[in-house]
Structure 1
Amino acid sequence: LAHGAAAADAAALPTVASACRAERALLLADAGELAVADALAVDLLAADGVRTGALAPAHLVRGLVAYWQDRLGDARADLEDALALAGPAQLAVAVRAAATLALVCHAQDDRAAFERARRRVEDALQTTGTGGARHAVPADDPGAEQHVSLDVLGRIATSHCRTSVDVVAVLQRALVLAEDDEHAAHRMLERALDVAEPAGVRRPFVELEPLLHDLLLEHLRWGSTHEALVASLVAGDAPRRAQRGGWGNLELTEREHQVLVRLRSTMTTTEIAAVL
């Protein structure tokens, strides 16, 4: 694809060159090179030129990276652009964009937008004859339609991205180990952080936070080279934590909670102040 882009430049075929670069960015993202892929997509989209379907994979890359970095507003904008630009020959791009957009809208609690995005995925699956990936609602509801499940949407959106798949797999392993081997669980959690932090990946931790919460808190005492990230993950989920009862009857402001969580780490008060 890199050679194709260069050859297209030499032949004065800008749309072909853009298509090669956009597809290359998507392959790099799936290979785990999120920063490189995102930079390539940014350069491509910043260049002057007509917005064509050739740019759809570049918008998908930006949307995927933003989603995994938990920048949901940015993700939504680029995923919507990817859907708008993807033509009939780019069904795979459209399906991934729609599935990821559905996850974003679900996280933002935007039910109407979630249903629209899910319908795009369902229509595409019907078109390609892959209806086996669907599941029916309970049989005792004869008037209900079939819908793609949230789990299937997640697999469509994330199964290609090596970094996210690796992080989720390691986190799930850490949760299993936490039942019997605390030290092994913390070593596994540290491994997930080693992969996630350089790429800015946060979304798997956010989605699994209700299950990971106690393990993340203990990880601050266990010792980590990613203390600031762990503290921000634990401190940044006040609404759901309040629903679980988290800190008992303590009525803390969100800011007080952010400080309290970091006091469990080895960070000094000066370092906590600097981070916040």
Structure 2
Amino acid sequence: AAGFFVEHWNTPCYFLPGVPAEVRMFMEQYVLPDLDRRFPERPLYRKRILRVQGLTESHIQERLQSLAPAELGVELGYLPQTAENWVTLFTAAETEGVADQRLQRAEEEVRWRLGADAISGRDGETLESVVGQLLRERSWKLAVAESCTGGILAARITAVAGASDYLTCGFVTYSNDAKVALLGVSQQDLATHGAVSHEVARAMAEGARLRVDAQVALAVTGIAGPSGGTPTKPVGTVFVACATASRTIVLQHRFSGDRHQVQEESAQAALVLLWKELLG
């Protein structure tokens, strides 16, 4: 598709097609070079994204209310995402060195207020890439066992190039029979506690780890909806587990939203649990 340019009252106006790939091409080849030529003395703009885990937007704002961004030379913003929250830092400076200095100082203030275990990465450092690097540093192998997420967790992990360095196997055990046959979950646990339970999540993680001789395993079991909920286990009830040779941690969550949102937040919760376990 074509685009066109109009200069109106000494203001450049660019009209671009709507296809993302074409917009990117026009921006890189035409718009940005033209802006560089027209405004060579403009300030340098820098933005940093801090990826926050385990805190709601309201909790983040409460902890950062004492922060004075103007005194640090930055603008502070909040960008809620599907399964995590972003704190954004923006600055305009004359040089790259000054911009980086402002962002670094502001980031340190944010980290101090939110806690060292709240920020998993910055900018393009996704949680799955951070977890992958931690696994690689330990030379650990990871196995995953999924029920309600149906492979979403494994898909996120393998979206990172080089994931074969640490991901050894993924089980999608959607039925109870598959949980028993592939992971060694006991029929008694399923009958007594149900597939969506602390006990079954633990057994899934421990079974996955032992089946493929991995150092760590994740498991997810829950009710993604819209049906299947009960008064004691409503839609959105999810258990995530992380098993190592020394211990198994199981956490219960209650997520809201549609089926896709519950699945995405479940996968995120499992990755957060693994991230914190790897940090020690």
Same fold (TM over 0.5): no
Shorter chain as normaliser: what TM range? under 0.3
Between the two structures, name the one with larger relative contact order (CA 8 Å, sep ≥ 6). 2
Greater share of strand? 2
Whichever of the two has the greater Rg, that structure is 2
Give the TM-score normalised by the residue count of structure 1: 0.24
Give the TM-score normalised by the residue count of structure 2: 0.24
